[in-house]
Amino acid sequence: MNRRAIIALTCLSTILVVGILFFPRAPQEPFYEGKSLSDWLLGSELSAQRARTAYMQGLSRKAQEPPLVAEKALNQIGTNAFPIMLRWISANHLPSWYKNLLSRLPLSLRNRLETPGKAVTQAQLAVIGFNFYGERAAPVVPRLLKMADQRRTESMNYQSENPSLMALEGMRHAIFPELWAGFTNGSPTACYLVVRTMEERIQVTGGIKGNEAILERLVAYKDQQVALNAIRILLNKEAIPILTPCLDDKRPAVRVAAIFALANFERHASGLANKIRTHLNDPDPEVKRAAEYALEKIEPEIKP
């Protein structure tokens, strides 16, 4: 072996040793009573599955209730679980080029960086864990939103295989203040989840009382799709005052959606007939057609 090759090999070895010794260590998985966090999470999920099966089979109430042992363990581990669960999810989010790069590194160094071989299973366990912790996971919501937003930009099908989104969606009611903060900061994932949460609230309560300010922000939001989704969930006549400003929105699609929504209220929206009638001269043909349809519904005895 010539001198140049020896020098190159020495330099490479030195770099690897330094990386192994000084590269920041990954968060260690916490243990409780001799079992790891992943074991407790898996056990809790299996218990939940057994409970659901028992319920479907009509077994006794006692058989439906999962053991409280896993719940006690997860409560004892507490927030110490968050760093490793975030790591499991982030490993699932790695781009393919980075995973290929990791596969070429020495095993000892690769284990310090990520564990891509277990990423999918561990990401699923992390979703279970965050769903269990609920509002206690509020401090890590910004990190989860960031990961979900990143996946959104990387893939058109980001909702189908996105553990960060799944974790957020499962606890969205418990972490709504943090989602609202994400919404005000422009997070696309937070926008999506806020609309979803509002839709469920309206379905459960049968109205919009107490949520008017949030809905007003949603229907006027700069992202057109968010505004359209928000208009779509306003199916109660109490929403007429929220929909009214949308008639003057600069975006034709929003005007169309608002007019159709008001048309569903028929005579209850008759007070806006004159306002809608002005859209018969709207420069956008879709808005004009929507106005014609709405007037037929709101004032059927009067032709526009």
Q: pLDDT digit string (tens) for 151-167?
A: 887 654 555 568 999 99
Tell me which DSSP letter residue 32 carries. E
* CB 206, CB 183: distance < 8 Å: no
23 pLDDT higher than 50: no
CA-CA distance, 122 to 133, in Å (whole number)?
Answer: 16
Question: Residue 64: its pLDDT value, please?
Answer: 36
134 phi-psi bin (left φ>0, alpha ψ -120 to 50, beta other)? left
More confident call, 97 vs 133:
133
281 pLDDT higher than 90: yes
Q: pLDDT tens, 225-238?
A: 999 999 999 988 99
* CB 37, CB 81: distance < 8 Å: yes
Portion of the chain with pLDDT greater than 90, in percent? 54
Element (H, E) at 295: helix 285-298
Other C-beta atoms closer than 10 Å to the C-beta of 301 total 5
Whole-angstrom CA distances from 296 to 109, 159, 265 are: 70, 39, 12
Question: Residue 24: its pLDDT value, please?
Answer: 47
Q: pLDDT tens, 250-269?
A: 999 999 999 999 999 998 99
- State the pairing for strand pair 35-36/31-32: antiparallel
Structure tokens at 268: 């209850």
CA-CA distance, 252 to 258, in Å (whole number)?
Answer: 10
pTM of the entire structure? 0.76
For residue 81, which of 47, 34, 117, 130 has the smallest C-alpha distance?
A: 130
50 pLDDT higher than 90: no
- Provide φ and ψ at 221, rounded to 5°: -65, 150
Question: Residue 71: its pLDDT value, please?
Answer: 84
Question: Residue 46: its pLDDT value, please?
Answer: 55
Question: Residue 38: its pLDDT value, please?
Answer: 86
Question: Residue 43: its pLDDT value, please?
Answer: 72
- Confidence band, pLDDT 50/70/90 cuts, at residue 60: very low
Other C-beta atoms closer than 10 Å to the C-beta of 134 total 14
Structure tokens at 102: 């990791």
Arithmetic mean of pLDDT, 261-278: 93
23 phi-psi bin (left φ>0, alpha ψ -120 to 50, beta other)? beta
Q: pLDDT tens, 243-252?
A: 999 999 999 9
Of the ranges 24-38, 75-89, 119-133, the best mean pLDDT one: 75-89
* CB 163, CB 89: distance < 8 Å: yes
- Confidence band, pLDDT 50/70/90 cuts, at residue 123: confident
CA-CA distance, 67 to 46, in Å (whole number)?
Answer: 10
CB neighbour class for 71 (10 Å; exposed up to 12, middle 13-18, buried from 19)? middle
| The domain defined by 210-304 carries CATH number 3.30.70.1710 | no
Structure tokens at 174: 């418990």
* CB 41, CB 130: distance < 8 Å: no
- Confidence band, pLDDT 50/70/90 cuts, at residue 299: confident
Question: Residue 59: its pLDDT value, please?
Answer: 44
**Three-point CA angle 251, 255, 261, nearest 5°:** 145
More confident call, 55 vs 290:
290
Domain boundary assignment for the chain: 28-205, 210-304
Structure tokens at 300: 């059927």
Q: pLDDT tens, 197-222?
A: 999 999 998 899 999 999 999 999 99
- Confidence band, pLDDT 50/70/90 cuts, at residue 125: confident
